[in-house]
A and B are shown apart, each in its own frame.
Chain A
Amino acid sequence: MSQTTANAPVRVDSPARRILRQFMEDPVAVIGLILFVAIAALAIAAPWIAPQNPYDLTQLDIMDSALPPGEVSFGSGQTYWLGTDRQGRDMLSGILYGLRISLLVASVSLGLAITIGTIVGVTAAYFGGRLDSFIMRIVDLQLSFPAILIALILLALLGRGVDKVILALVIVQWAYYARTVRSSAIVERRKDYIDAARCLALSDRRIMFRHLLPNCVPPLIVVATVQIAQAIALEATLSFLGVGVPITEPSLGLLIANGYDYLLSGSYWISLFPGIALVVTIVAINLVGDRLRDVLNPRLQK
């Protein structure tokens, strides 16, 4: 595509460059992107930048229990900018480590769900017929039930654990990707370049993944940004309800749940600050997603 346009008198950017330029035109979306990158960097760097390791019991001092924000430790003299919880754990460190687990669960489940959903969706669209209607029946059946209900029941049967939360999120989310990929692949499949590839006697697999799939990517990206925000919120909700991650590996949702018992007695910071971290993360992703939806939507392009 870029060769044909290069000879034209008006210079046209490559698709990736155009998308980037249009994305940057919206300052709110750029702020969202910067926020998200910063949050992800903080989460990855948590073990090196956090003031203490919140799960190393030797670093905790029970004398520092439930200190309000800005108080100084009785023992080590360290300042707790966001206060401490009942065990005397620094909330700032707890939040940084919690972000790590929240983002880990969301991104691993995102990766697995996209992979499964894409393979199923492209296969259904490419072969069509009975296989297609069978797969889509399953997808419709699953999507007719609320995600939170399915995830909750799975975890009630499986028990708590990071791996089990990831499994539940993958099972809940694959159907969204399968439907998205299938609906764009079924349009692409009728186009001439697929017929041309078939005439070259390329293998089905090669046509599906090298020819068909790359043209189904834009809607997939939009759905993925919406879904990763959903995944973070769903994991937090499940952990808040006590069926998500175990207490040894607390995510933001579990930190909020732990502080919830103290909310009514006035120790608001134990619950409030992890909640703010969670909300800022989700809002940042949603701002990026909103803009991507406009930029990648061909109907809005001139």
Chain B
Amino acid sequence: MLVYLVRRLGQSLLAIVAMAVLVFAGVYAIGNPVDVLINPEATQAEIAATMQRLGLDRPLYEQFGIFVMNALQGDLGTSFVYGRPALAIIMERLPATMELALVALFLSVAIGIPLGVWAGLRPDSIAGRTIMGGSILGFSLPNFWQGMLLILVFAVLLGWLPAGGRGETTEFLGLQVSFLTWDGLTHLILPAINLALFKMSLIIRLARANTREVSLQDYVKFARAKGLSGRRVVMVHILKNIMIPVVTIIGLELGSMVAFAIVTETVFAWPGMGKLLIDSINLLDRPVIVAYLMLTVLIIVSINLLVDVIYSLLDPRIRLSEMKG
């Protein structure tokens, strides 16, 4: 187990280093770092001071060392627009994005698994076919377009829910959250559905395929022959056995949800870090872009690592085959 952990940790570190090199290359080698990292409105003295601090007058490999040292200390530059450390600005926006992603994940699981199991038990029924047709639509509709339709129907035509923003927030475990106030909840529903739809389609398809396979197994037939209620067969015998692949996908998709939140946050003007990224790109606030990228890479790599470790605890075959390979 220790061998597997060390090996897997090494891969994660390698991924972070590789991304750091790419970001560094993108900023320092392709573009002119003076334009990228120093505010165009800075005075001559400020430019000189920043160049000194970032070591822009030194050779490239030394500059990379300084970049890494600064990044390790949490210094990813100062925002041109806000005049404050870029990382601090992003950290302020992180709770909003995490709240959105977690609520969306909850929705896609809570709706996706029952629908998928239902469709898997009765693949040829009208309900089963409708669910599958709906999931193809969920795959095909681009995310931002789904969001716009939701706004058009529920905010513009029906006027039931607000079209954007985060609404009233309240303190929960020291963080500002929306889902505990009524106003915040109404603001949260549409963006969360929008972010959830794609993953929901994925989970429906996965749960359906696995249910179809599992319900043909002998132990399911045997459970039925034993006279167990249909409810118990589904809840215990089938559900337990489809959860392993479903849980893996859920874990891996949480990371991509943080990235997909960029689109949802832009459509619904949700004040998370994805919206901050798009605003920063439009304002050419490059230190914030660099900080966003490094932080997101860290989040995604950590989630992937965590999922792999949990999965290897559940299924010894994984770590054994990895150790050999």
Known contacts A146-B256, A153-B289; decide if A271 and B140 are in contact (CB<8 Å).
Answer: no
Total residues of chain A contacting the partner, CB 8 A: 34
The interface residues of chain B lying within 8 Å CB-to-CB of A243 are 278, 281
> Is there a chain B Cβ closer than 8 Å to A213's Cβ?
no
Interface SS majority for chain A: helix
Contact, CB under 8 Å: A282 / B142: yes
Interface string of A220-253 (1 = CB under 8 A from B): 0000000001000100110011110000000001
> Is there a chain A Cβ closer than 8 Å to B148's Cβ?
yes
Known contacts A146-B255, A241-B263; decide if A272 and B142 are in contact (CB<8 Å).
Answer: no
Scoring A148, A156, A278, A282 by chain B CB atoms within 10 A of each residue's CB, the highest score goes to A156
Contact, CB under 8 Å: A157 / B27: yes
Contact, CB under 8 Å: A156 / B281: yes
Find residues 260-302 in chain A having any chain B CB closer than 8 Å to their own CB: 260, 263-264, 266, 268, 271-272, 275, 278-279, 282-283, 286, 290
Contact, CB under 8 Å: A157 / B256: no
Find residues 123-155 in chain B having any chain A CB closer than 8 Å to their own CB: 136-137, 139-145, 148-149, 151-152, 155
What is the bound-complex CA distance between A275 and B143, given in angstroms?
A: 11
- Nearest B residue (CB) for A290: B136
The interface residues of chain B lying within 8 Å CB-to-CB of A271 are 148
- Least CB distance from A245 to B in Å reads 15
- Least CB distance from A161 to B in Å reads 14
The interface residues of chain B lying within 8 Å CB-to-CB of A256 are 144-145, 148
> Is there a chain A Cβ closer than 8 Å to B215's Cβ?
no
- Nearest A residue (CB) for B255: A146
Interface string of B238-280 (1 = CB under 8 A from A): 0000000000000000011001101100100000000001100
Contact, CB under 8 Å: A148 / B31: no
What is the bound-complex CA distance between A278 and B296, given in angstroms?
A: 30
Interface SS majority for chain B: helix
What is the bound-complex CA distance between A240 and B146, given in angstroms?
A: 13
What is the bound-complex CA distance between A149 and B298, given in angstroms?
A: 13
Interface string of B1-43 (1 = CB under 8 A from A): 0000000000000110011000100110011000000000000
> Is there a chain A Cβ closer than 8 Å to B291's Cβ?
no
The interface residues of chain A lying within 8 Å CB-to-CB of B101 are none
Contact, CB under 8 Å: A148 / B152: no
What is the bound-complex CA distance between A241 and B297, given in angstroms?
A: 21
Contact, CB under 8 Å: B142 / A286: no
Known contacts A144-B304, A256-B145; decide if A149 and B296 are in contact (CB<8 Å).
Answer: yes
Contact, CB under 8 Å: B300 / A157: no
Contact, CB under 8 Å: B145 / A279: yes
Contact, CB under 8 Å: A268 / B27: no
> Is there a chain A Cβ closer than 8 Å to B196's Cβ?
no
> Is there a chain A Cβ closer than 8 Å to B217's Cβ?
no
Contact, CB under 8 Å: A156 / B289: yes
Contact, CB under 8 Å: B259 / A141: no
Contact, CB under 8 Å: B259 / A148: yes
> How many contacts A-B (CB < 8 Å)?
95
- Nearest B residue (CB) for A276: B145
Contact, CB under 8 Å: B152 / A145: no
The interface residues of chain B lying within 8 Å CB-to-CB of A233 are 142
Scoring A157, A283, A290 by chain B CB atoms within 10 A of each residue's CB, the highest score goes to A157
Contact, CB under 8 Å: A241 / B278: yes
Total residues of chain B contacting the partner, CB 8 A: 43
What is the bound-complex CA distance between A25 and B266, given in angstroms?
A: 43
The interface residues of chain A lying within 8 Å CB-to-CB of B145 are 236, 256, 275, 278-279
Choose from A148, A241, A282 the contact partner of B140 (Cβ within 8 Å).
A282
Interface string of B216-231 (1 = CB under 8 A from A): 0000000000000000
> Is there a chain B Cβ closer than 8 Å to A152's Cβ?
yes
Find residues 154-180 in chain B having any chain A CB closer than 8 Å to their own CB: 155-156, 163
Contact, CB under 8 Å: B15 / A141: yes
The interface residues of chain A lying within 8 Å CB-to-CB of B260 are 146, 148
The interface residues of chain A lying within 8 Å CB-to-CB of B141 are 279, 282
- Nearest A residue (CB) for B145: A275
Choose from B15, B137, B263 the contact partner of A148 (Cβ within 8 Å).
B263
The interface residues of chain A lying within 8 Å CB-to-CB of B19 are 145
> Is there a chain A Cβ closer than 8 Å to B282's Cβ?
yes
- Nearest B residue (CB) for A149: B259
What is the bound-complex CA distance between A266 and B163, given in angstroms?
A: 13
What is the bound-complex CA distance between A279 and B148, given in angstroms?
A: 13
Choose from B26, B266, B304 the contact partner of A157 (Cβ within 8 Å).
B26
Contact, CB under 8 Å: B144 / A240: yes
> Is there a chain A Cβ closer than 8 Å to B293's Cβ?
yes
Contact, CB under 8 Å: A266 / B289: no
Known contacts A145-B300, A146-B260, A282-B142; decide if A260 and B289 are in contact (CB<8 Å).
Answer: no
The interface residues of chain A lying within 8 Å CB-to-CB of B144 are 236-237, 240-241, 256
- Nearest A residue (CB) for B280: A156
The interface residues of chain B lying within 8 Å CB-to-CB of A241 are 144, 262-263, 266, 278
Extra pairs beyond A141-B14, A157-B27 (4, CB < 8 Å):
A141-B18, A156-B289, A233-B142, A264-B151
Can you name 26 A-B pairs with beta carbons within 8 Å?
A141-B15, A141-B18, A144-B300, A144-B301, A145-B19, A145-B300, A146-B255, A146-B260, A153-B23, A157-B26, A157-B30, A157-B31, A236-B142, A236-B144, A241-B144, A263-B151, A264-B155, A264-B163, A268-B152, A275-B145, A278-B142, A278-B145, A279-B142, A279-B145, A282-B141, A286-B139
8 closest A-B pairs by beta carbon, nearest first, are: A146-B259, A149-B259, A146-B256, A233-B142, A157-B26, A283-B140, A156-B281, A282-B140
Q: Using a CB–CB distance below 8 Å, which chain B residues touch chain A?
A: 14-15, 18-19, 23, 26-27, 30-31, 136-137, 139-145, 148-149, 151-152, 155-156, 163, 255-256, 259-260, 262-263, 266, 277-278, 281-282, 289, 293, 296-297, 300-301, 304
